Amino acid sequence: MSGPISPLDKGEKVIDVYEPPPAWRVTFLKVIFPALLCVEFAAYTLLRRYTKGVLLLEYSSSTVLGMAEVIKFGMSAFMVTIDTEPSDSPRDGVMKKYWWLLVNSSKMVVPAVIFLIMNILTFGSLARIDAGTFTAIAQLKILSTALMMLPIMRKSVSWRRWRALLILTLSVTLISYQARPKSEGTSEKQIADLGSFVVGIILELMEVILSGFSTVYVEKVLKSSDQKQTVWERNFQLAFYSMFIYFGIAYQQTTMQGIPMGTGWDWSVMLVAFLGAMAGILVALSLKYTDSIVKTLATSGAILLTTLFGWIYLSGPLDFPILLGSGIVIISLLNYQDDGSEDKFTIPICCHQ
């Protein structure tokens, strides 16, 4: 009498069973990743402003961004080997997995190029405007994303959200106007300072527009793809292309200008590179374990941190209109996430007869 026939005897493919992590670990990750994202957002913005706008270090932003992608690539390459989440990538060999990810990564070329332009724009902007104003303007990425969703994704946005976006735009305008340079000197210096400030605003607005397009593009590409890939695998693919793009530009700059790649580096620039590597990973992990509302709260906290610490340590502007505008920005972000459904937690109004 023969025993039971196993799937291997039948020649069937054995599918790995994914076991979700314990509830306590998920709860911990839901708290720690948004908290780290909030601190990372603020620290990354403040440090870039410090190195470019205060210390005036003349280092190559392409080199720094390239080093950040090397760090991200190394972390992602290690994590894809131990990650147990469901994926279509092969599991019968590390090199085979790497090769499969690279062969199926062509869709990440466009985001890599867009992120390159965005990152270079942010460095140029932070050399001209303070960290608090920069962070406030960056919140307009929600507006640019909503505008891009209309023609590309064919998605509509409710009037409730358009009102929130209008308030957001007005509050960012208030902050930008109030934070403008008020130098006490000759008219030529005032014009030069104001011109530099306006250029910084324009550079950040360009980055905001590109961010909206890239967000919608990546969402459309990922949703239209039949392949299932993990967060680490996507970061692995994106970092692979970004490394070659950044270092290619840095090499060209070195050849044309005759300045070595490591010129101007110190501990602060190294920390900028590390924080740049962590930015994309923490955003992806925050959205993976929480949702966009929690990510918005983390961003709101970053507005307060950059405005406060920028004022304390980097001589950034801070007065009542800026505080008021920052508060309105945060409320607008939360209102945008409000879908109009009944609140889970309400404040009871007791009217006893």
Buried b (16+ CB within 10 A) or exposed e, 48-58: bbbbbbeeebe
Which residues 6+ apart lie within 8 Å of 89 measured at CB? 80, 97, 100, 101, 229, 233
Distance between CA atoms of residues 293 and 74, nearest Å: 30
- The 10s digit of each residue's pLDDT in 205-259 is 999 999 889 888 877 776 666 778 888 898 899 999 999 999 888 888 777 767 6
Kindly state the tokens that stand for 282. Answer: 């923490």
Q: Say which DSSP state 221 is in.
A: H
Least confident of 16-20, 100-104, 175-179, 306-310: 16-20
Distance between CA atoms of residues 237 and 226, nearest Å: 17
What integer pLDDT is reported at residue 352 of this predicted model?
42
Q: 348 pLDDT exceeds 60?
A: no
- The 10s digit of each residue's pLDDT in 144-155 is 988 888 888 777
Q: What is the mean pLDDT of residues 336-353?
A: 52
